[in-house]
Each structure stands twice: as C-alpha cells, then as structure tokens.
Structure 1
Amino acid sequence: MHATKTVPALLALSALAACATPAPVSTSVADAGAPAPVANYDWHLHQEPGEDTLAYGLANSDELKLQLVCRTGSGRLELGAIADKPMRELYLESGGDTERYPARSEAAGINDGEYVSADAQTKDPVFQRFRRLGWIAAWQGDDRETYAAHPASKPDIERFFAACG
C-alpha cells in the first residue's frame, strides 16, 4: 500500500473510532435531572418538644407550599399543602418514587385557596428518597411543582426525619 493511500484510510478510521467512543457518563445528582433550588424559597425546620415541622415556602411569611409535621419519634406524618381548589389526594414524587395520599380539604383562611391535608409515614419510599435527594415535587392535575432545598438547608431535612423516626 502506498503512503498516499494509507493516510486517508487512517484518518477515516480515526473519525469512525471517535464517533464510536461513548460519551462520559455523569454521576452528579444535579446532572441527573434534580431540580434547582428557587431563590427565596426553601425548607425550614421548626422543632418544639414533642413536635417537629419541616415546611417549604418563604421564610417568615404565610407563603406555604408543603409542610410535614410529626410527633417526635412517631414515624407518622401529617402533610399540609395549599391548593387552588379542593383536592381528594396529595400526589408526591421524589427521584422517581411517587405516592398518592387520600386528602382532606378546607378553606385556607390565611389566603385564597384550600388547605389540603393527608396522613403518611416517614418510611414511605417517596419520603426516604426526599430525605436522600433534598427535593420533592407535588402534582396538582398536570402541574408539577418541585421543592428543592438550598445546600444550607439540606441538613435540616435529615434532622427532621431523624427526629420523627
């Protein structure tokens, strides 16, 4: 084979080899589709003797998206959310785990809309995934709202679940 024919053949093989090389796989949670935290909204932990509350919303306001309340050590949760209209269930998702909880609705009182509540267990897969990932999403019909922790509040999520049992 002549040198003039060898160089184009090698270039063609190199180009094919480059196309066949798999792209690097990212193992970062952020790159895996985790939602980003929203400015001014975050998870807030409030602990009193016998009761722990983890709420997502604006600090020092009535702007509440989702809250989890437990009796310390009980493993049981009372969920609360503000919705536009009455809902029969709270539909939650975190990292691929989903759960639907039968819900009760009543007028919110502090703002327009409904206060929706439901009962759950800390051991439910959706909450264990939330505990690991630091985000959870709530569905209202076809609308999905994600509630992602800022880095500084992620330890509060673990503190909450550790206290609740």
Structure 2
Amino acid sequence: MRPPALLVLSGLTLTLAACGTTRMDFAPAVSGAPAPIDHYDWFLHQDDEEARLAYGLEESDDLRIGLDCRKNSGRLALSALAPEGARPEIHLESGGDTERYPAAAERSELNDGLFLTADAKASDPVFQRFRRVGWLAVWQGDERQAYAPHPGSADRVERFFAFCG
C-alpha cells in the first residue's frame, strides 16, 4: 500500500527544511561610536593664544591627526600622516558627517609616508559633529581609522573648540 502523496510530500518538506536550517545569532545593537585605542588618546595643549588638539601617544612623535588654532579665530590647521602615494587630502568623518580637505603633502621625516597639512573652519559640520560625539575618523583610501577618547579625556574636544571660537 502506498502512503498518501500529501503525507510523503510533507515528510520530504520537513526533512529538507531541517537540512537547510541555518542558525542565526543576533548580536545586540552596539553604539555607532568607536572604542578608544589602548595607549592612544586626544591630548590638548594650550597657552594664552594657541591651542593644539592631537590624537596619538602622549609625549611621543606618534601623531595620528593634529588640529591647531589661534584663540577665537574659528580657523583650524590640520595635520595628518598618509602613506606614500596617497591623494593629498585629509578626509575626515564624525558621526556620519564627512569632509575632504585638499592638503599640501611633503615627505614625512618620521616615517616612510607623507605629512599632510590643510586648513579648515571650526564651524564645518564634521567638526561640529566631532564636538557633539567626541570622536573623529580619518579615511585613507578605503581604510578608516577612528579616534575616540578614553573616559576622562572627552572634555578636551569641547575645550579645544570653545578656545578656537
């Protein structure tokens, strides 16, 4: 006696479904903010007329990006490193806002790459977002390096921009 076709079809469907089952693990939602990098942080140096906000290793030449300004000028001088042959621009991102700054490039005396410098306005949207979210990313080609403060140093970003005007 032959089993009813519907019963065979149902059994076959369940068997195929069991073979094709994929386990899906859903990771919890995470904040869009990058994590701080061990030993690197945002450092603020200022005197009466000038300030510098730099991301790197404290007390070293290992600088990832630097922002300089004169008090209440609203203007920034940017500096960053790039690999040899990179486009002469500083491409920044913060919280989804991006901006590209045409840069002057010269051979770096500290590594095999280039030292880039560019001018910007402190009021540019990418810097206003940086003030709010506290992190800034530098793009070099398709690579993104995000620089977030460690707990206790996040206020340095706001202090820098308040000084620059």
Report the count of equivalent residues. 137
Richer in helix (by share): 1
1:130-149 → structure 2 map (5 Å cutoff): 130-149=130-149
- Structure 1 runs (4+) greater than 4 angstroms displaced: none
CA–CA separation in structure 1 for the residues paired with 2:80 and 2:88: 12
CA–CA separation in structure 1 for the residues paired with 2:88 and 2:37: 27
Which consecutive residues of structure 1, in runs of 5 or more, have no partner in the other structure? 1-25
CA–CA separation in structure 1 for the residues paired with 2:102 and 2:112: 22
Post-superposition offset of 1:88? 1.9
Structure (1 or 2) with the larger CA radius of gyration: 2
Partner residue in 1 for 2:111: 111
Partner residue in 2 for 1:48: 47
Partner residue in 2 for 1:159: 159
SS of the aligned residue for 1:120 comes to strand
CA–CA separation in structure 2 for the residues paired with 1:158 and 1:88: 28
Root-mean-square deviation (Å): 1.4
Question: Does the Cα contact within 8 Å between 1:54 and 1:69 map onto a contact in 2?
Answer: yes
Which consecutive residues of structure 2, in runs of 5 or more, have no partner in the other structure? 1-28
Deviations 1:99-150 (A, max 9, x none): 0111110111133211101110110010011111110101000010001111
CA–CA separation in structure 2 for the residues paired with 1:48 and 1:112: 32
Post-superposition offset of 1:49? 2.1
TM-score (norm 2): 0.79
Matched, 1:57 2:52: no
TM-score (norm 1): 0.79
CA–CA separation in structure 2 for the residues paired with 1:150 and 1:120: 25
SS of the aligned residue for 2:161 comes to helix
Partner residue in 1 for 2:80: 81
CA–CA separation in structure 1 for the residues paired with 2:110 and 2:90: 20
1:22-41 → structure 2 map (5 Å cutoff): 31-41=30-40
Q: Which amino acid aligns with 2:82?
A: A
Percent identity (aligned): 58
